Chain A
């Protein structure tokens, strides 16, 4: 049914629009505008900032150091998204085609970590990956096992096991981000696969295509909107991730959010931090614009 013109019922419109508009403007648009204004400012003294309209902050952001950090953040976020997609797709398939009895429990299994506190999950993963943690012990046991098998068949045993550094490096950041974002990917994929017309898959199989070919040629194209949604839902927070690189990364694993944070805490260069924040927001806008452009391409049937 058609929407009502606001003029036909001004009283009700005022009642629903004024609180919303007030909140959005006062506590979202204004704070964002302040950041935007300060990004054109410069430090004068310790706490004084002068909004002078300078572009220096943006110029500084295009220095090689910051460009590489932006590039690296993109690369890490893209890699995380790709891994989540590869790992998550079969899981979403399994949930979609699971029996009525099992499906809710599998979904719950994916959602429970999604609802668990991010910091708690990151911390839990850190315990597991620590040099004394179980991941290392497991690898150690595998190593010893291989060594034992080698001696058994008369070869030189392997050198003694040294615990590997699994934490505080780029590997840990990627693993941590995958761990945190996997549910984000699985849920939209499942939502898309669940809507799929199963008779199309059956038709493809009946006509002689194998399972792999059916998945690649029928399921994936039909689930494309869900895949795009999952990719965006994973890519965007991964790009702005702060906690995982901060806690699990090493000195060379900083992502853009960590650099922004440093400008506001240790480096105390708020204008530059504001400029970096807005560059990150612009990057998000570009990603979203690309996605909506893709959506407008007429679909071929």
Chain B
């Protein structure tokens, strides 16, 4: 036992028990092993992904030389950026509406705004497919970036409720006396909004932006239904590559996306700290 004789464990230090550590370790292995294998094998000089045959970057060259894949990636990033900007504005405005005002049918409005979070993706996808083809006759042959319009609209619809949720919980901690003080000192509604309210909800806006960007970039199902025959996004492209011909290019492209996620996460960390991010989920 002398081998383990460190400071004795306090009763509540559950994370210091051996079985707990093994459990957490096993879960982390379960969560990360597939991703790590994917990343390693994107550098593997073998077509069949099985044995290590030496380091190569050729699949990255191939992936980046694949015009369709690059186009899909550019499309996805454009969609995510546009959807994030509009979702932020719309989500913040909706949160202010629900936080500040009492109005008829408020419960119904509140419920409807959060519905897109609950409705299954497949149903939302189906709804947009029908809406754009049967309801609107949305043209599918527009020039870039207008051909992404339908997808951007769909993404905003499922992203902005998350922004509203995050901003609203931040607004709950706002001290209205600050607003009154600003007004007493002669600020207009707009100045109060810009100089008092916005700075207060800024952390929530950052969190909401990151959340929207990731959700938009992540979405496959809704985009799959909404996109016309000629518009591809990254997940849709990867899906068809996985479904019909597994090539090591997919590994390389996926690794690039994982790298992007990690980078975004670290930006979030720098801006907010781990704890704040955890609380927004």
Residues of A within 8 A of B (CB): 1-6, 9, 11-13, 15-17, 19-21, 23-24, 27-32, 34-35, 38, 49, 87-88, 90-91, 93-95, 97-99, 102, 104-121, 123-128, 130, 132, 134, 179, 182-183, 187-188, 190-191, 198, 201-202, 205, 211, 236-237, 239-240, 242-243, 247, 257, 260-261, 264, 270, 273-274, 277-278, 280-281, 284, 288
> What are 20 contact pairs spanning A and B, CB under 8 A?
A1-B176, A3-B102, A20-B109, A23-B90, A23-B160, A28-B116, A34-B130, A35-B130, A93-B14, A94-B21, A118-B220, A121-B34, A125-B34, A127-B41, A130-B49, A134-B33, A179-B30, A211-B14, A239-B120, A240-B122
B189 within 8 A of partner (CB): yes
A149 to B221, CA, bound (A): 49
Given contacts A23-B157, A35-B126, are A5 and B34 in contact (CB under 8 A)?
Answer: no
Stretch binding the partner chain, chosen from B140-148, B201-209, B253-261: B253-261
B37 within 8 A of partner (CB): yes
Q: Is the CB of A115 within 8 A of B23?
A: no
B63 within 8 A of partner (CB): no
Residue from B28, B50, B126, B242 having most chain A Cβ neighbours under 10 A: B126
Given contacts A124-B35, A202-B11, are A281 and B94 in contact (CB under 8 A)?
Answer: no
Smallest CB–CB gap between B65 and chain A, Å?
20
Number of A-B residue pairs, CB cutoff 8 Å, is 259
Given contacts A124-B34, A128-B34, are A5 and B101 in contact (CB under 8 A)?
Answer: yes
Smallest CB–CB gap between A206 and chain B, Å?
9
Given contacts A5-B101, A19-B93, A115-B264, are A127 and B34 in contact (CB under 8 A)?
Answer: yes
Residues in B with CB closer than 8 Å to A257 are 120-122, 221
Partner of A16 from B30, B96, B120 at Cβ < 8 Å: B96
Residues of B within 8 A of A (CB): 11-15, 20-21, 23-24, 27-28, 30-35, 37-38, 41, 48-50, 89-90, 93-94, 96-97, 99-103, 109, 112-113, 115-116, 118-123, 126-131, 134-135, 153-154, 156-157, 160, 176, 189, 214, 217-218, 220-221, 225, 235, 238-239, 242-243, 250-251, 254, 257-258, 261-262, 264-265, 269, 273-275, 277-279, 281
Given contacts A94-B14, A112-B261, are A120 and B130 in contact (CB under 8 A)?
Answer: no
A257 to B126, CA, bound (A): 10
Which B residue's beta carbon lies closest to that of A240?
Answer: B120
Q: Is the CB of A264 within 8 A of B243?
A: no
A123 to B121, CA, bound (A): 19
Query: Which DSSP category, helix, strand, loop or mixed, fits chain B's interface?
Result: helix
Residue from A32, A119, A187 having most chain B Cβ neighbours under 10 A: A119
A22 to B52, CA, bound (A): 56
Q: Is the CB of A107 within 8 A of B278?
A: yes
Residues in A with CB closer than 8 Å to B257 are 116-117, 120
Which B residue's beta carbon lies closest to that of A98?
Answer: B15
Q: Is the CB of B15 within 8 A of A236?
A: no
Residues in A with CB closer than 8 Å to B127 are 31-32, 34-35, 277
A128 to B217, CA, bound (A): 24
Residues in B with CB closer than 8 Å to A29 are 112
Smallest CB–CB gap between B118 and chain A, Å?
6
A23 to B112, CA, bound (A): 11
What would 13 more interface pairs be, CB under 8 Å, given A119-B235, A119-B239?
A3-B99, A4-B101, A16-B96, A21-B109, A91-B23, A107-B278, A120-B254, A123-B254, A124-B254, A127-B37, A201-B12, A277-B126, A280-B120
Q: Is the CB of A30 within 8 A of B122?
A: no
Given contacts A32-B127, A119-B242, are A187 and B101 in contact (CB under 8 A)?
Answer: no
